[in-house]
Structure 1
Amino acid sequence: MVIDLNSDLGEGFGAWTMGDDAALLDIVTSANIACGFHAGDPAIMRRTCDLAVANGVRIGAHISYRDLAGFGRRELALSPAELTAESLYQIGALDAIARAAGDRVRYVKPHGALYHSAARDESVAAAVVAALTGLGDLSLLGPAGSALATAAAVAGIPFHTEGFADRGYTPAATLVPRGTAGALLSPEAALRQAVSIAVSGRTSTAGGEEVRVGVRSLCVHGDSPDAVHMARTIRQALLDRGVEVRSFV
């Protein structure tokens, strides 16, 4: 068994910081780095890329709707052409910085509202995928069985399925919406869920229903309480169960 551990990183802005990126980059195998639209700025992007390269962590572009005030968690009405252009802009900016740091962007993962709208809306998914075409060896990270996965397959873009260690699941195997009961898991519950998904491809909802969550990568959010301890504990638990922890790209 092989599993990737990813985390959303570089999500500060100016003097404002979020999470302990340096510590997490010593644990995870893939870094979804904010590209300036929901968080991040050039200096933070460079610092995070430098740390990722130093730790052998793969770099992914964590693209978003242009919504700093809402942290990318508000769905915006953009035309497909606008969304493709804004996605391309973010990927290109991070790739330039990643190359200056000694690597390159390997994959793309939408953030927040864009992640969810691309999962369900075919036109949004197609607009995101269009930004990757012609850019070379890039892949997409996102939810299984989604419109994004379908659009990637049609375009011939490699797609890697993602699950979440620290977020609750509904009986439909989708995430419990933020702000509702059961959306965020405790470190202990996240550990159980991560091991269960990695080993059996299944987890349980808050109501005790078993759901299938077959994934290639597990996300531990960098802004979660005790994120560093949670990620470190999850990684060790997976290794103890014979799961190889390495990047999917």
Structure 2
Amino acid sequence: MTELRVDVLANADFPNFAPGSVWLVGSGPGGPGLLTLLAWHALGQADVIVHDALVSTDILALAPHHVTRIHAGKRGGKPSPKQADITIRLIELAREGKRVLRLKGGDPFMFGRGGEEAMALAHAGIPFRIVPGISSGLGGLAYAGLPVTHRDTNHAVIFVTGHDETGAVPSAVDWPAVARAAPVIVLFMAVKHLRAIASQLIGAGRAPTEALTIVSNVARADQSVLETTLGEAGALKHVPTPAIVVIGPVARYRATLDWYVEEARRHVFG
């Protein structure tokens, strides 16, 4: 049955991945089962994959062996390629006539700098396609039993990055406005600066006793969840990353909705 389904997908009317073009593709929050069908198609058609550090080896293994894989991951506190160099490489590879798959964790347009790369490709005259992915801060949190909205607790949610391009707390973010904007705040890449961010939010009126949940490796077998409060967040040490921070009342649903049991975690496809 599995072979039949793969044959059907292989013959599906997917868009052509043309030589000399770049596809910016979201790989989702971890498990290969959370890839879109269009992402799966791109993996099978690409000549070269330029991938982030957060793209799992299980996902990369879905591409044929002959496909060139180029690591272009940026991780805080570690030597990382510069964004400008990554973008230049994408353009160079496309101009060589390659089918270039730029593979990103989560969604390329959700704090993934996909917009910057797409703009550079457009200015260089390189054809491109955007393939959305499941964001770890949205659909990925379902793997920790955390609905980002629930009719009984919140009708709004705000997504914020926890660091800027220099690695510091984003100075352009109006933290008092964020504190008031929605009952639920979802923070990306915020573990390093969690003490400073929590202080800003408490200073703007959020309660120190408010629930704060940190989900590390959201849709992977090594997922871990830490439940604390906004006031205690600054004392945390050695939190695994990558991680998503969720502040607000939706934490109350985890006890009932934490479906991602050990049996599911052992399943390679998520």
TM-score w.r.t. the length of structure 1 is 0.29
The structure that is helix-richer by fraction is: 1
Q: Who wins on radius of gyration, i.e. which is larger?
A: 2
TM-score w.r.t. the length of structure 2 is 0.27
